[in-house]
Amino acid sequence: MAKKKKDKTPKLQPVSGVIEGAGEVAEQHIVSTIQENFMPYAMSLILSRAIPEIDGFKPSHRKLLYMMYKMGLLTGSRTKSANIVGATMKLNPHGDAAIYDTMVRMSRGYEALLHPYVDSKGNFGKFYSRDMAWAASRYTEAKLDKLCTELFKDIDKDTVDFVDNYDNTMKEPTLLPASFPSVLINSNTGIAVGMASNICSFNLREVCETTAALIRDPEHDVMSTMPAPDFPGGASIVYDDEVMKKVYETGRGSIKLRAKYSYDKSANCIDVTAIPYSTNCESIIDKIIDLVKTGKVKEISDIRDETGIDGLKITIDLKRGVDPDKLMKRLYKLTPLEDSYACNFNVLIGGVPMVLGVKNLLEEWIAFRVECVRRRTFFDLNKKKDKLHLLKGLEKILLDIDKAIKIVRETDEEAEVVPNLMIGFGIDEVQAEYVAEIKLRHLNREYILKRTEDIENLEKEIEELEAILKSRSRVKTIIVKELKEVADKYGQDRKCEIIYSDNDEDDEDVEEIPDYPVNLFFTKEGYFKKITPQSLRMSGEQKLKEGDEIVSAIEFTNNCDLLFFTNKSQCYKAKAYDFKDTKASVLGDYIPAKLGMEEGELAVKMVVTKDYKGFLMFCFENGKIAKVPLSAYETKTNRKKLTKAYCDKFTLSDMIYSADDKEFLVRSSSGRMLLIHSGLLNLKTSRTTQGVAVLKLKKGHRLFSISEYEEGTFSKPSRYRTKNLPALGALPSADDTSEQLSII
């Protein structure tokens, strides 16, 4: 038999004593675990990191900008970005990389903000390029941009609360006392736990004007002065009235952005010069390359990124005979050249996250700014009261300087000087301390008179400050004044143009249409005729319904756009080739029936165009005139009907089209006439603008009509001109009275 091997495994020695709880499985409820461990983290992320507050900043932005302010970078020269990052870690100990990334996104070089807060020098990358990385912080320099003057205005006057930093070594502000609604000026994105924030940017001038109007009139229509957001980069906004209203009212919605392009005929290529804010060059190029490889797009021979010192540029080379506009319509559908920006206006208000519409957000900012101005006024008031109190004590010394010197000289102990002065002149300890500290060389009548002559002015200033504190309306007046100053100083034109387009109808390929000269006629009753010049020469008189008359007779070509404006604030679009060539001996097409207008809707004006240049002037019975560019009615799609073609709040009395600025004759039902130059009226991007008051009207009268002024109509035209609008106009003189000028 084989011998059994010995087990050489070391034996465990018995342990004396028992480990309490060893081997037991403890139950832990998921609800309590989340409450104790996860919820504090989630709340910290929401309140202290990801969601912006009413001043428009997240804590990381605010800490960085405040530290740059403390470093003297608001007025001083630029410093290395590494210095700024290092200093900011005193307030934000989350690592230098995160701080530098934050600064890059706020810089002028990165171009991600409409109004950058950091004036940068060096390579800061570009927001529209995924591969264009920024240089390290040791290579770049930065300082605060001039706009930051408005962010830190009066921050040292107790306008906002300050708290200790993470190690209690310095103070930092909880908010910045921005003198303009910075929360809507620049885009801001944050992702927290269970919620997110995505605020789009708006034009600074429009925001300031809207806020001022809202302060004056709480019922002000925000969309009338702030028609749409404005994004860096300058892509076009495809305007949808319902979607835009939803964004403005609820703070949620999706805004469609479309790239801008131009066609270079000599090189047969498309140059894309502006892309949607929510995408980048590389994503667009990659998608187009995929479409070409899969054979879905065959018209493109090459694509390349030519972005350089002049800005963004994507060049698309076309094959011979390709229609660039048709190709771009397809690319808008198939690539990020047309993209959406999802709005979610989630802001912390008093530590509570709220999703607010534009108007509600501005109202919250107004309340915040009112408190800032009141606190600043209270601070100034206390400072002036303290100064006045000291000067009052000094004034009493003026009565007897020798007595004051005698009291000081004859006092045995230094500690008794202040009490003796208090007794000798009847002043309190603060005033006596101030007098006792005055140098001997200043104890003369001239010095004291100079110091006390400001007492009267100080008393007036204190009275003014107390009046401001008592009146909320005066505080709001100050805010309005500051908003106007900001708008005038830092305002800039819109970067994004607004395109009114139909999202429901598909684009259709336009067939080749023969283009030849035609004469277009439109009558008062709404009948339309298209007659060739040859047929017109051979025809006799125009056939019209009884009482009807021709109001528009235009020579144009067959391949042009016709815009018919109706009495229900709508515009119907058609092509001239949609109508058959006819003769003068027929009535023509009845436009309301031909274009399928609503019941009771009548066509009141026809405008003919090809390039959508020029402008329209809408005249309302209340004396206002709205000047709208014709390009506002241009659509990329074959849209047939445009709602809200002009303001429907007032009754339209007349309208006129003009290719360029000139003089027009405006007439009222009272017989008064006014000559105005259209250059005095500003173009409004919104079709529904209410216009500006031009004609003053007496009770019971209305603006009657508008027409181009022809030289020689009046013997003294200066009689009907005015320097200021609105104006009353003038009654026709005996020399100017004629059948043509009579008002029926």
Nearest to 99 by CA among 45, 135, 125, 137: 137
Nearest to 563 by CA among 604, 527, 596: 604
End-to-end CA distance of the chain: 139
DSSP character at residue 735? T
Q: How far apart are CA 202 and CA 627, in angstroms?
A: 23
Q: Which two tokens stand for residue 560?
A: 């042009």
Q: Which two tokens stand for residue 471?
A: 């009146």
Query: What is the torsional sign of CA 243, 228, 47, 112?
Result: positive
Q: How far apart are CA 101 and CA 493, in angstroms?
A: 28
Report CA-CA distances (Å) from 281 to 116, 223, 273, 338.
22, 32, 10, 12
Ranges of H-type helices in 539-692: 591-594
Catalytic residue among 100, 110, 117, 139: 139
Report CA-CA distances (Å) from 544 to 518, 523, 537, 604, 606.
19, 8, 18, 17, 17
Q: How far apart are CA 201 and CA 496, in angstroms?
A: 11
DSSP 473-525: HHHHHHHHHHHHHHHHHH----SSPEEE--SSSPP-PPPP----EEEEEEETT
Amino acid at 609: T
- Residue 166 falls in the annotated catalytic set: no
The H-or-E segment that residue 45 falls in is: helix 39-45
Is the Cβ–Cβ distance between 104 and 113 less than 8 Å? no
DSSP character at residue 540? -
DSSP, collapsed to helix, strand or coil, labels residue 550 as strand
Q: How far apart are CA 331 and CA 279, in angstroms?
A: 14
Ranges of H-type helices in 304-454: 324-334, 358-398, 401-410, 417-425, 429-436, 445-452
Nearest to 48 by CA among 184, 174, 146, 169: 174
Residue 60 Rama label (left phi>0; alpha psi -120 to 50; beta): alpha
Amino acid at 200: C
Maximum Cα interatomic distance, the chain, rounded to a whole number of Å: 149
Using DSSP bridges, classify how beta strands 236-239 and 498-500 pair: parallel, antiparallel or unpaired.
parallel
CA atoms within a 13 Å half-sphere pointing along the CA-CB vector of 455: 14
Active site residues: 139
